[in-house]
Amino acid sequence: MAGGGRARPNILVTGTPGTGKTTTCSLLADATGVCHINVGDLVREKGLHDGWDEEFECHIINEDLVCDELEDKMEDGGNIVDYHGCDFFPERWFDCVVVLQTDNSILHDRLSSRGYMGPKLINNIECEIFQVLLEEAKASYPEDIVTALQSDTVEDISRNVTKLTEWFNNWRPRRSS
Ligand code: ADP
Ligand code: MN
């Protein structure tokens, strides 16, 4: 059940790399005092992976290890989880799932200036064009908790953070009866 016993909600912020997840989550954590969990950093720091993918230059995440690591924290509530994937977390963890989306040419420039090129760049742009994360979120969570938010400009970020802060502050635990 969504919100099962938590005093504060958990939010998942997902989207293609470069759509602004980490920027948005940091600001949201500052505004609400909740814990920002950057799953990519966690995987690196705690070694929750099965080696390195040479083609896409990233760790091969061990989803079971990540879920075991996060279970207790998620049960307590008050977390913002930041990751470019969403189909392996337990559905019951989240009260709100946000999918950030960015215009393809803007995203292309952001990823290029981050040093992405070749198959890694192309794969991520295609991921955005085909709305892979939005489809994954809709397939993995109840549709009424999934929200797509545009993240092209700094004004978009401000608006998204304000909206999510309001949502967070207005959230109330569900009664069990
Ligand atoms: P992600 O965590 O989704 O990979 P980041 O938050 O690290 O994305 O953002 C990647 C880069 O793009 C950063 O330099 C960030 O400042 C910039 N950026 C992200 N979202 C926006 C936005 N909506 N408007 C302007 N710049 C953005
Ligand atoms: Mn990030």
Tell me, yes or no, whether 2 lies in a domain. no
Tell me, yes or no, whether 169 lies in a domain. no
For the domain that residue 52 is a member of, what is the CATH number? Answer: 3.40.50.300
Tell me, yes or no, whether 141 lies in a domain. yes
The number of domains in the chain is 1
Instruction: Provide the residue range defining the domain that includes 82.
Output: 10-163
The answer, yes or no, to whether any atom of ligand 1 lies below 6 A from the CB of 131, is no
Q: Quick one: pLDDT at residue 5?
A: 82
Spacing of C-alpha 90 from chain mean position: 14
Tell me, yes or no, whether 4 lies in a domain. no
Tell me, yes or no, whether 174 lies in a domain. no
Q: Is 18 annotated as a binding residue?
A: yes
Q: Quick one: pLDDT at residue 174?
A: 76
91: its two tokens: 């559905």
Ligand 1 atom index nearest CA of 25: 6
Q: Which amino acid is at 61?
A: I
ipTM over 0.95: yes
pLDDT digits (tens, 9 = 90+) for 80-116: 999 999 999 999 999 999 999 999 999 999 999 999 9
The DSSP 8-state label assigned to residue 8 in this structure reads S
Whether the pLDDT of residue 1 is over 70: the answer is no
State the virtual CA torsion across 132, 111, 96, 88 in degrees, nearest 10: 50
Tell me, yes or no, whether 3 lies in a domain. no
Ligand 1 atom index nearest CA of 84: 3
Tell me, yes or no, whether 144 lies in a domain. yes
Q: Quick one: pLDDT at residue 75?
A: 96
Spacing of C-alpha 50 from chain mean position: 21
The ligand whose atoms approach the alpha carbon of 150 most closely is 1
170: its two tokens: 């207005």
Q: Quick one: pLDDT at residue 177?
A: 52
pLDDT digits (tens, 9 = 90+) for 26-71: 999 999 999 999 999 999 999 999 999 998 889 999 999 999 999 9
Which residues neighbour 71 within 8 Å (Cβ) at sequence distance 6 or greater? none
Tell me, yes or no, whether 82 lies in a domain. yes
